[in-house]
Each structure stands twice: as structure tokens, then as C-alpha cells.
Structure 1
Amino acid sequence: MPKRDAVFPANRHALYDVHQYSAAIRSGDLLFVSGQVGSREDGSPEPVFEAQVRRAFANLRAVLTAAGCSLDDVIDVTTFHTDPQAQLDAVLAVRAAEIGEPPYPNWTAVGVTWLAGFDFEIKVIARIPSRDESTDYRAR
């Protein structure tokens, strides 16, 4: 079995080392991104919820970029929320700004009781575009 093809962003935060996981794993033309939280570089949570969600998306974009992808390449999203009812409006506002226009990726939101000190986490699966295809493969 081949070794895992791990992907890390250029300025990776401390949580990858503290919790011993890869930011993402490349498998063929798919990228499986670990849950990204709104952590600062030292691994501590962003204290304001909406800012934490924005930082989680920024951390996600950094991982996607390191693999040669963008949010346009995301096909499946799972988000985790510690208080979905109270947090939904803020998450939807950030999501609308980050994800953009249709067609949207699949999305599953899950309410949880614990996220290691965080209140929001986002994990995705993305298709890694080949070097010779156009940037918008969905138009085909």
C-alpha cells in the first residue's frame, strides 16, 4: 500500500502537530480535507463566533490552495456546530460569501456537543483539477 500523500498549507497551525493529523490527503484526483476550525496560528480558537467561522474558511482555503484547488473544486461539505440553532444565521452569511453562486456543493450540517474548544468545524472533499483542463470543469 502506498504511503499517504499528505497536504499541508504553507503556514500551518499548531493543531496538526498537537493532535497528529494531516490537513488533507490526496487520493487520485480527490482531496480529503480534515476538519478545519477557526484556529489561530498557535492553535487557539478565535473567540468571536462569526470570526471563528471566517477563520475556519480561511484555513480551508489555505489547505485547498496547497493542493492546487479552490472552493470551486469542493464537491462535498460537512460542518459541525455546537449550537446549530443559535449559530445558523452567522454560518449561512459566511457560507454565502465564501461558496458563491450555484451550483453548490453537497452540504451536511451536524450538531455536536464538543469540538475541542471550538464551536464550528468544516471538512470537505474536493476534486483536484488536472493541469490541462479548464478551470471550470463543471461547464462541460
Structure 2
Amino acid sequence: MTTRNVVFPPGRHALYERHRYSPAIHSNGFLFVSGQVGSLEDGSPQQGLKEQVRLAFENLNSILAAAGCSFDDVVDVTVFMVDPASTFEEIWSSVVSEHWGNAPYPTVTAVGVTWLSGFDFEIKVIAKLPQESL
């Protein structure tokens, strides 16, 4: 088995150890980022939907930065939302647009779910690594 090239952001290591997953992995010029939620340092959910989504993006951005990337390098996005029928517009129009970057936008798949371990929103991405990060 090959060794995984794992990227860790500052802090939150206990969360990854407790749940046994890597925050992100470099592979073949891409960065595959695990789903990020609006978790506080102790792993608990940030209160309030907009605040939780903002924190999920902050957590995502810290992983991207640790790999030498930014949101501009993201090529594919998957978001998971609890109760998207009542939350999609609130999340998409007011919070996501603050972080999305400029066109052209990455591909996006939005999935409605019934459970996210106490969270209401999760974002997972694939980013193209800049040449100097390879």
C-alpha cells in the first residue's frame, strides 16, 4: 500500500483522530478534502445555520491554505444539507456567495440528507493543486 500524503490544517487534530479520517489527501495533482462542517475546536456544532455554514467554509479554507490552495483552485464541490427545502435559499444566496469566488464557478452537487451527526451543512471539495504545491 502506498503512503497517503495527508494535509492537516492548524488545530482540530482530535476531531480527525476521534473519527478516524484524514482532512485532505494530495494525489496525482489534486487535493481531495473530506467533508467539512461548522465544528468548533472541540468538535461540537456552531449554533445557528448561517454561522455554521460560515464556519464550515472557514474550516475548508484552512485546509486549502495548508495545501497551498485557495477556493479559486476548487474544481468540484459537493454539499450536504439537512432539510434543503427550507434552508437552501438561505444558505445559497446569503452565505455561500460570500465565499464562492469569481466565475467560472466549480461544478456543484447539492444533496439533501436527514442526518449529519448534529450538523445542518457539510461541504466536500476537490481542488487542483498549484504546480509549486506538487
The aligned runs of 1:61-140 (5 Å cut-off) are 61-92=61-92, 93-131=94-132
Residue of structure 1 in register with 2:43 after alignment: 43
Q: Would the aligned equivalents of 1:13 and 1:40 in 2 still touch at CA under 8 Å? A: no
Q: Deviations over 1:37-92 (max 9, x none)?
A: 00000000001010000000000000000101000000000000011011112221
TM-score normalised by structure 2 residue count: 0.94
Identity %: 58
Per the TM alignment, residue 100 of structure 1 is displaced from its structure 2 partner at its CA by 2.2
Q: Deviations over 1:104-138 (max 9, x none)?
A: 00000000011011010000000000129xxxxxx
Aligned residues: 132
In structure 2, the residue corresponding to 1:14 is in which secondary structure? helix
Question: Which position in structure 2 is the counterpart of 1:53?
Answer: 53
Q: 1:43, 1:126 → 2: CA distance?
A: 24
One-letter amino acid matched to 2:25: I
CA distance in 2, matches of 1:107, 1:13: 28
How far residue 12 of structure 1 moved from its aligned partner, in angstroms, is 2.3
